[in-house]
Amino acid sequence: MKNAIEINALEKKYDNFKLGEINLEIPSGLIIGLIGENGAGKTTLIKSLLNIIKPSKGKIKIFNNDSEEMELDIKEDVGVVLDNMFFQEILTPHDINTIMKDIYKNWDTTLFNDYLSEFGINFNQPLKTMSKGMRKKVEIATSLAHKPKLLILDEPTSGLDPVVRNEVLEIFQKFVSDEEHTILFSTHITSDLEHIADKIIFIDKGQIVLNELRDEIIDNYGILKCSLDSFDKIDKKDIICYKKNKYDYEILIYDKNKMNKKYKDFIVDRITLEDLMILIIKGEK
């Protein structure tokens, strides 16, 4: 399998925060979910990929080309949605089309129009009179209209209502049905990823703490629940981390089947990405 993105020993230092060192390979053809708390480094990582910020050290390759040397060629094939609104609010979708068709070689006005009609967006309406969700949809349509191979999306679904979120997720799924297409998608709405992500990358305090296929996470990790006084019966080496609640312990374990057999008196629950995130961030070791 080819890699859409390769990150080698990436580091970005700020006065009060450090991302990295990050080593990461993102295979093409997949939807990759980037999760983590606010301030964990998701946006810093995405901005480094897009040359918006300059890494303190390390190399990034996109489509097997150096992201700085081949910057413009790479960007012809990358679609982007940033976390903040980024079009001047007095512009209309029609204006955006006028601007973008001179920026991307492969800009497809018909495709852009199709997405907008699908989203029910009026062409000549200034962005400032649109709801936050509609503006996000204009941004998503823009990110797709030059037929990119890679979509890099920072919180594309935040602020969208569940119906629209589903529409958008469906479009993303359609986009990767072609094996060449890849999506890197950061979010803190982890339930989105449970539906569509093939792989989950979890960043905490500037470090990658988990990088696995979604199915493997769901199949292998589990939450073992035990009462306060039976906590000592659990083998310490089976505990990845745990959280003490008022009446019980929640323990993150790996290899659910094995644990089920080993601890017959306890319940091992299926894990959601949200549980996993909370346990890893808040749990004790």
Partner 1 sequence: MKGLIKKDFLLIKSNLKSFIVIILVFTLFSMKGEGFDVSFILPFIAIMMFISTFSWDEFNNFNAYAITLPIGRRNIVKSKYISAIIFIAIDTIIGLIISYLTTILSKNIFDIEAILSNLFGTILGLSIILAIWLPIVYKFGVEKGRIMLFVGVFAIVFLCATLSKLFDFTSLINFLNSLDKVLFIAIPLASIAIMVISYLISVRIYLKKEF
List contacts with partner 1 (CB under 8 A): 47, 50-54, 71-73, 75-76, 78, 80, 82, 84-91, 95, 98-105, 152
Provide, rounded to whole angstroms, the least separation between the CB of residue 53 and partner 1.
4
Cβ proximity to partner 1: between 90 and 228 the closer is 90
Cβ proximity to partner 1: between 46 and 226 the closer is 46
Cβ proximity to partner 1: between 154 and 275 the closer is 154
Provide, rounded to whole angstroms, the least separation between the CB of residue 246 and partner 1.
43
Provide, rounded to whole angstroms, the least separation between the CB of residue 178 and partner 1.
21
List the end-to-end C-alpha distance of the chain, in Å, as a whole number: 36
Provide, rounded to whole angstroms, the least separation between the CB of residue 9 and partner 1.
20
Provide, rounded to whole angstroms, the least separation between the CB of residue 185 and partner 1.
15
Cβ proximity to partner 1: between 108 and 212 the closer is 108
User: Which among 219, 217, 214, 226 has a CA at the least distance from the CA of 251?
Assistant: 226
Cβ proximity to partner 1: between 84 and 177 the closer is 84
Provide, rounded to whole angstroms, the least separation between the CB of residue 74 and partner 1.
8
Cβ proximity to partner 1: between 76 and 194 the closer is 76
